[in-house]
Amino acid sequence: MTAASAALSLLPISISRQPFSKASSSSPSFVKKSGGISIRGGFKVLAVHGEEGVEGAVGSGLGKKSSSKVWETILDVENPGPRTMQAKGEVLDANQALEVARFDIQYCDWRARRDLMAIMLLHGKVVEVLNPLAREYKSIGTMKKELAALQEELELAHKHIHISEARVSTALDKLSKVESMVSDKILLVENSQESDSSATTAITQTTSSSSLTKQQRKGLNIAGPVQPYHPTLKNFWYPVAFSCDVKDDTMTPFECFEESWVIFRGKDGKPGCVQNTCAHRACPLDLGSVNKEGRIKCPYHGWEYSTDGKCEKMPSTKLLDVRIRSLPCFEHEGMVWIWPGDAPPSNTLPSLKPPPGFVIHAEIVMDLPVEHGLLLDNLLDLAHAPFTHTSTFAKGWSVPSLVKFLTPSSGLEGYWDPYPIDMEFRPPCIVLSTIGISKPGKLEGKSTSQCSTHLHQLHVCLPSSRNKTRLLYRMSLDFAPLLKHVPLMHILWKYFAEQVLNEDLRLVTGQQDRMNSGENVWNMPVSYDKLGIRYRLWRESLERESN
């Protein structure tokens, strides 16, 4: 049962596939050795090519369909069979090595299902032998012989399960190693202009692995004072406020890309976003008020502006045709969005609603003294939790021997192992996560699907300035709906969120200080940094495409 569960748990893993042609003697890039494939340079990937002549624990009985349609569908699957593969060059590259590991897992899954099916069939036979109706027609000696034979078959089936457990463990270790190799290759491909030409060749020797790591470090250089933001980063819809915070008679000031803006509702109740500077004497408009006509009134000389930036009233002087800058601004699914870029806005606004079944319990806005890229790096990293958040949600967490982030080959989403947490980076500055929990501060199971209750989080990291971020945080639960109506509960949630963020900020502000002094904050990325690395590569590719 353990081997079957372990193998079935591998099914959600998405691995990029790359077809192989039939092997030819002209390019012997890998050699089969006692059930394995040896890749030149000392790296070996286990590759099981089937077991001819082995029928399993109960012989040919495994080939028959189970009487139960459910178990038949799950367990009686096709034998993946032997695979013949050929490398594209003289050696097996990272994608091909990953494919070999995938064959391992596919076989282990089939073998585990067969073992489990064997035990189930044997269980049915034991029930049949012990059936009171059957005993009337059999002697005790006959029943003893049948049970003894079934006992031997059960022992053999359990032996196969232990072998399958070992194979699953080996396959997972190999997959983890190949995954790291592929991550290294992705970094090199994305930064090939800055790397030596030799870095783009296939993985050949163990010694080349270390050279890849060195070139990887050179390719991801986040050091020195934060430079002005690239204009293309502005060409996105940005959430800047929660709808509940934008009242009819108040203004919401904020900064975005080094500029000051203010949000307020017009006479029709729709929000607008204008420059937070009066055209007359550059007085901050948020120091004024919103009148009954839905216009903001400058506190200096009383000039009044509508949501499109037009000045509609100038007391004590002739009305002139004056406008201040305004941005496209819309309200969507409980959030106010703006488009700060020069390109035409896209026609649709993204959806950031919680998944079905979740109820929003808290919406919090904070201004943090850290550059938004560093904050995103932190939010996309879960491996730091048992070391950083020792006084809050990760109190008592054990430190795993290996932390992995499993994701499609080029995706910006995936799930953590061994933590039951799904995570996604959504351009330009949004992190979504779903955490499986049993009670506050506790983890249950190794995937979100194994957990009965969940916490869903939204983090929006709006780039206010080069050293400041406006954070919009929303927390939703799929349990305890009445908790939302407990008086002053929102104060408790805000206190807890601030405690968690303070644990992070102590470290991230230190990083920012070192970065401003010239240190590279991505000096030595490792395998669990995958999602943060892909975010940085996305930023770099966005800037390259616009040049």
The predicted pLDDT at position 136 comes to 59
pLDDT tens profile 390-408? 787 777 777 777 787 777 7
* pLDDT of residue 426 exceeding 90: yes
Q: CATH number for the domain including 534?
A: 3.90.380.10
Q: Are residues 264 and 402 in the same domain?
A: no
User: Is 198 or 387 the better-scoring residue by pLDDT?
Assistant: 387
Location of structure tokens 């204009």 = 231
Taking residues 317-331, what's their average pLDDT?
95
The predicted pLDDT at position 59 comes to 39
User: Is 292 or 57 the better-scoring residue by pLDDT?
Assistant: 292
CA-nearest of 128, 99, 108 to 21 is 99
Residues 119, 157 contacting (CB under 8 angstroms): yes
The predicted pLDDT at position 185 comes to 56
| Rounded to 5°, angle at Cα 429 from 423 and 433 | 20
Q: Are residues 538 and 476 in the same domain?
A: yes
Percentage of the chain exceeding pLDDT 70: 65
Q: Are residues 331 and 366 in the same domain?
A: no
Q: Are residues 323 and 375 in the same domain?
A: no
Q: Are residues 440 and 509 in the same domain?
A: yes
Task: Give the residue from 181, 202, 218 where a domain finishes.
Answer: 181
Residue 317 confidence class, pLDDT cut points 50, 70, 90? very high
123 in a domain, yes or no?
yes
Taking residues 282-293, what's their average pLDDT?
96
Q: Are residues 266 and 332 in the same domain?
A: yes
Which sign, positive or negative, has the C-alpha torsion 28, 164, 153, 74? negative
CA-nearest of 328, 327, 319 to 280 is 319
Residues 530, 423 contacting (CB under 8 angstroms): no
Taking residues 264-277, what's their average pLDDT?
96
534 in a domain, yes or no?
yes
76 in a domain, yes or no?
no
Mean pLDDT value across the chain: 75
135 in a domain, yes or no?
yes
User: Is 128 or 184 the better-scoring residue by pLDDT?
Assistant: 128
3-state helix, strand, coil in the chain (%, to 5): 40, 20, 40
Percentage of the chain exceeding pLDDT 90: 37
Least confident of 31-40, 271-280, 412-421: 31-40
Query: What is the Cα–Cα distance from 58 to 48, expressed in whole angstroms?
Result: 21
Taking residues 83-109, what's their average pLDDT?
60
Q: Are residues 382 and 323 in the same domain?
A: no
* pLDDT of residue 364 exceeding 90: yes
Taking residues 177-203, what's their average pLDDT?
47
346 in a domain, yes or no?
no
Taking residues 260-283, what's their average pLDDT?
96
User: Is 189 or 251 the better-scoring residue by pLDDT?
Assistant: 251
352 in a domain, yes or no?
no
Residue 370 confidence class, pLDDT cut points 50, 70, 90? very high
Q: Are residues 462 and 513 in the same domain?
A: yes
349 in a domain, yes or no?
no
Taking residues 32-55, what's their average pLDDT?
39
Taking residues 324-331, what's their average pLDDT?
96
H-helix segments, 23-93: 69-75
Residues 276, 253 contacting (CB under 8 angstroms): yes
Task: Give the residue from 181, 196, 220 where a domain finishes.
Answer: 181
* pLDDT of residue 156 exceeding 60: yes
CA-nearest of 423, 486, 483 to 458 is 423
Taking residues 94-106, what's their average pLDDT?
66
Query: What is the Cα–Cα distance from 156 to 143, expressed in whole angstroms?
Result: 20
Least confident of 7-16, 45-54, 83-92, 146-155: 7-16
pTM, 2 dp: 0.62
CB atoms within 10 A of CB 100: 23
Location of structure tokens 């012997």 = 28
pLDDT tens profile 487-537? 888 889 888 888 888 888 999 999 999 999 999 999 888 888 888 999 999
User: Is 94 or 227 the better-scoring residue by pLDDT?
Assistant: 227
Position 287, amino acid:
L
> For residue 416, what are its two tokens?
């953590």
The predicted pLDDT at position 196 comes to 41
Q: CATH number for the domain including 243?
A: 2.102.10.10
Q: Are residues 370 and 497 in the same domain?
A: yes
pLDDT tens profile 330-349? 999 999 999 999 999 998 89
* pLDDT of residue 21 exceeding 60: no
Position 524, amino acid:
M
Taking residues 457-462, what's their average pLDDT?
96
Task: Give the residue from 181, 209, 241 where a domain finishes.
Answer: 181
Query: What is the Cα–Cα distance from 70 to 108, expressed in whole angstroms?
Result: 21
* pLDDT of residue 285 exceeding 80: yes
86 in a domain, yes or no?
no
* C-alpha distance from residue 153 to each of 148, 378, 535 (Å): 9, 53, 53
Q: Are residues 326 and 409 in the same domain?
A: no
Query: What is the Cα–Cα distance from 505 to 398, expressed in whole angstroms?
Result: 23
User: Is 63 or 152 the better-scoring residue by pLDDT?
Assistant: 152
Position 498, amino acid:
E
Least confident of 92-96, 115-119, 522-526: 92-96
Query: What is the Cα–Cα distance from 398 to 403, expressed in whole angstroms?
Result: 12
Least confident of 141-150, 209-218, 247-256, 267-276: 209-218
Instruction: Decide the pairing of beta strands 329-332 and 335-338.
Output: antiparallel
Taking residues 353-379, what's their average pLDDT?
94
Q: Are residues 321 and 469 in the same domain?
A: no
Which sign, positive or negative, has the C-alpha torsion 180, 181, 186, 187? positive
Q: Which domain holds residue 430?
A: 359-545
Overall number of domains in the chain: 3
* pLDDT of residue 442 exceeding 90: no
Return the exposure string of 335-354: e unless at least 16 CB atoms fall within 10 Å of the residue's CB, then b.
Answer: bbbbbbbeeebeeebeebeb
The predicted pLDDT at position 178 comes to 63
Residue 145 confidence class, pLDDT cut points 50, 70, 90? confident
Query: What is the Cα–Cα distance from 291 to 408, expressed in whole angstroms?
Result: 52
The predicted pLDDT at position 9 comes to 33
Q: Are residues 239 and 375 in the same domain?
A: no
